[in-house]
Amino acid sequence: MTKVCIVGASGKLGQHMVQHSLDRGYKVVAVCREKSASKLDRFRYSITVVPGDTNDRMVIEKAVADCDAVLTVLVPWGMQRHSSGTAQAVLDFSRQDARLIFSAGNHITKDGLDVYSRKFKATVAAASWFGRLFRAFDLKDQIEACKRIFASDTKWTVVRAEGLEDGESQGLPVWSHHAGDPILDSKLTRRTDFALFMVDSITNESLVHEAPAIVSREAPSAVSCGV
Ligand SMILES: NC(=O)c1ccc[n+]([C@@H]2O[C@H](COP(=O)([O-])OP(=O)(O)OC[C@H]3O[C@@H](n4cnc5c(N)ncnc54)[C@H](OP(=O)(O)O)[C@@H]3O)[C@@H](O)[C@H]2O)c1
């Protein structure tokens, strides 16, 4: 049976990934902060929970052992290199042949060929400044985390989105290699479908070493591009 570790399982995206993984019959190991473990109560008879900080190397080493895939919610909380610490631990301790899937935003670029609007760049710059001013989050560290992932020889995929919304599934999102592609113009992806894309990537070898930028399948821009 495929064994999947979900790092950051108690958040919104993480909980959707747990559900989609169970729907596929996967065995699930979930990592989340100790104080958030109760958010996974509805899954308690179906999954194994490893409580602990998601950037704690010992926690990650224990959780990813023997896993065929590791799905990581990459978040830049705090000023203690949370994202890069989490990513590095996942890269270091996962099995060499494991599929590693990370979530991120469109501000991450793999090859510098993404095209950003002035508004998007201003929003990211303001968020970055604000996060550092209040020492709440550090977008630069999420960028550093992704640099390490892109440089690694593991079987990684970094799934990117611009905006997330809640709501019913619309099916597997559509994707493009680069932000700025007209198909992504609508910007929004359903959170449940972001999670679906991450889980689906486990068995999609064509996404290895890709950083797909996704949007909901029924978003107007996807529909008008004829998908
Ligand atoms: N939000 C967006 O509009 C958006 C847009 C594009 C891409 N993304 C990407 O989507 C992913 C999920 O984003 P989301 O915003 O929807 O969040 P989310 O799914 O609700 O997940 C937030 C995660 O951060 C953890 N967390 C919260 N506060 C923390 C803290 N102080 N220290 C350590 N961990 C903390 C949560 O754990 P607990 O359960 O323990 O609190 C949870 O695992 C991220 O990779 C993000 O880059 C988000």
Q: Give the start-to-end residue ranges of the domains of the chain.
A: 3-224
Measured in angstroms, how far is the CA atom of residue 153 from the centroid of ligand 1?
Answer: 26
Task: Report pLDDT digits (tens) over 59-106.
Answer: 999 999 999 999 999 999 999 999 999 999 999 999 999 999 999 999
Say if ligand 1 is within 6 A of residue 123 CB: no
Say if ligand 1 is within 6 A of residue 11 CB: yes
Task: Report pLDDT digits (tens) over 176-211.
Answer: 999 999 999 999 999 999 999 999 999 999 999 999
Q: How many CA atoms lie within 13 A of 209 on its CB side?
A: 5
Say which residue the tokens 């001013």 belong to: 133
Say which residue the tokens 């590693």 belong to: 100
pLDDT at 7 over 80: yes
Residue 226 banded pLDDT, cuts 50, 70, 90: confident
Using DSSP's 3-state secondary structure scheme, residue 161 falls into strand
Please give the average per-residue pLDDT across 10-29, as a whole number: 98
CATH placement of domain 3-224: 3.40.50.720
The atom of ligand 1 lying closest to the CA of 9 is 43
The b/e string for 120-150 (b: 16+ C-beta within 10 A; e otherwise) is: beeeeeeebeebeeeeebbbebbbbbbeebe
pLDDT at 227 over 80: no
The atom of ligand 1 lying closest to the CA of 36 is 40
What are the residues facing 86 on neighbouring strands?
A: none
The atom of ligand 1 lying closest to the CA of 13 is 19
Query: Which of 60, 73, 134, 138 maximizes ligand 1 atoms within 8 Å of its Cβ, making it the mutation to test the pocket?
Result: 73
